[in-house]
Amino acid sequence: MTLFLSSLFACALLACQYSTEQSRINHNEDQKEVWVYKTNSGTQISTRYSCPQRYARTEEDSLSFAFYLRHLPLKPDSVLVMYYNGETKAKSNVYDAVIDMPISPKDLQQCADAVMRLRGEYLFSVKHYSAIQFRFLGDGQYHSFVTYSNGQYTYPKFRAYMDFVFNYANTASLKKQLKEKAYSEIAIGDVLIQSGQPYGHAVIVVDLCTNNEGQKKYMLAQSYMPAQETQLLLNPENGTVWFTLDKQNETIVTPEWVFTSKDLRTW
């Protein structure tokens, strides 16, 4: 058993400022409008950020994964992302906010791990314990929380299970677990993911706005290497947290990775 887990672990290792004024103002170059899109008093994604002009948030069921992600708690605006070892990551135009979710003091929760963590946290919160399972890289099998917990459905046991998963799963195994999806149908909870040699990357959609013409803007969150807290990404093209679904452009440029529209996956 020890040799088996060691083999899996070796495979998994192959995986991945802005100021703090009271509100942020964005100038829409196309429509020549001024849009106040951020208030630092908001403690969740849904209350800190507003949609662009003439866009509105999609309606989501209160028990859905989408609703859970949109209402993720945020740390105060001035707080920097913390690495697993207690050091901090300067914003440097990478992120705009930090999701308030403690991480392990081990170099475990990297990019794909943060995506799996959010999915697991949601399923645990609604007590869908049997649905908490992730594919491992080494054996290609799913390993479930139910089996790991042996009937102990406590939060500490869940956290231990997620650290166990982080040791043996990565972007490659997560990509195989997820299903392909058309970029035009992007929704909250979907994942942009690439598996590479030796590294890949994954980010997750945590909010979405649409307008009357059916156009979409979405928000992305990530962790990175080394292990660090999950963060809301800034769009390098407009300096806000909103990315635009552009059917004419297959490239999605994030601060630390470039994806294509073919990289979209869902659960």
pLDDT in the model for residue 15:
54
Count of Cβ atoms closer than 10 Å to residue 134 Cβ: 23
Q: Convert the pLDDT of each residue in 125-170 to its tens digit.
A: 999 999 999 999 999 999 999 999 999 999 999 999 999 999 999 9
- How far apart CA 181 and CA 164 sit, in angstroms, is 28
> What DSSP string runs through 196-240?
-SS--EEEEEEEEEE-TT--EEEEEEE--SS-B--EEEP-TTTSS
Q: Convert the pLDDT of each residue in 33-59 to its tens digit.
A: 456 679 888 999 999 999 999 999 999
DSSP state of 183: G
Please report where in the chains the tokens 């058993």 appear, as a residue. Answer: 1
- Model pTM score: 0.88
Binned at pLDDT 50, 70 and 90, residue 29 comes out as very low
Triad 167, 169, 173: Cα angle to 5°: 165
Q: Convert the pLDDT of each residue in 201-232 to its tens digit.
A: 999 999 999 999 999 999 999 999 999 999 99
